[in-house]
Amino acid sequence: MKKEKVSKLKNLENKINYRFKNLELLKEALTHPSFPNKDEKDKLINNQRLEFLGDSVLELIVSEYIYKKLSSFSEGELTKIKSIIVSKPTLAKWANLISLGKYIVLGRGEDLTGGRSKLSILSDCFEALLGAIYLDSGLKKTKKITLSFIKDEIDLISRDNYIEDYKTLLQEISQKKMKCLPEYILIKEKGPDHKKIFCIEVKLKEISYGTGFGDSKKEAEQNAAHNALKKIKIIH
């Protein structure tokens, strides 16, 4: 490996405060599928498998931490918080904190079209990085590094200074990716006045992205936004 490449990888290791025992794992985590990278057996190597692993490891770490930290929060609230924490915008934000984009190995076409700043590429690579650390050193070390990113945001949530919801998240995503704002439309309401059920549809650029039901219009809008985020694969 060329000295400049090793030096570049060491810079990234310094940023995450971790030294890889197996540097090949780090190289794999940084290799986007657009880059034509093959091993001696002519097998394509990229970060997709590590991303798959890192996604699962991240979910476990976040779930355990918020379960213990936010003991007064309901299951529904914990689910919403976890969805925000492991969402692509949040992961991309963390990736930008360590300038991950400049270390990613991209195909020429993807690089020329701004791949280093794309939300999906950054978030996927961040998950792959966590997967690589997990394979290199196990859960304990991966948890320590992951918590260095999520603790501050979780602390803000627990102090009620961080207000986030599905509608806000959908609005941020739609503005960034589609240059538009969500439109919420009341489709129907049923039941007596004291116990109405509302059905709300959310549209982006006049295309339906989901519907939601709730005891109030506000709750129905949140559920519609939640389903829209699932459809565009921002949350699971």
Residues designated as active site: 55, 127
Cα(42)–Cα(21) distance, integer angstroms: 25
Cα(111)–Cα(51) distance, integer angstroms: 20
Is the distance from CB of 171 to CB of 182 less than 8 angstroms? yes
Cα(181)–Cα(5) distance, integer angstroms: 42
Cα(229)–Cα(51) distance, integer angstroms: 20
| Residue 33 DSSP code | T
Q: Which two tokens stand for residue 164?
A: 């986030």
Count of CA atoms in the C-beta half-sphere (13 A) of 27 = 13
